[in-house]
Amino acid sequence: MNILYAKRFLEKSLDLAGLPSTYASILKYEKSGILIKPSANVCLRNNSVWRLYSEQEIQDNVIRLLIYKYPNREKDSENIKKLITQYLENER
């Protein structure tokens, strides 16, 4: 079973990577197609829908934004993936 994460975990992961991490900036980058929108939607009892990310989607989004903002930091992507994985494991 995949563990799904809320948008706040994407915000914190972006912050750990030194990237813009506000809710508004995430929506802006999702709308422009830089960040991938989450694939999982969960409907709660009160008819509200939560959009949840998998760990892989969070990592991919951080790397995509890192390469978009700082093209010369692509070599840092493996270190950032490790940092994000460690953060998400600690939050479980």
At residue 29 the predicted structure's pLDDT band, cuts being 50, 70 and 90, is very high
Residue 88's pLDDT is: 80
The pLDDT of residue 32 is 93
CB atoms within 10 A of CB 1: 3
pLDDT at 85: 82
pLDDT computed for residue 86 by the predictor: 83
C-alpha to C-alpha distances, 85 to 2, 44, 45, 64, nearest whole angstrom? 14, 27, 31, 16
At residue 70, the pLDDT reads 82
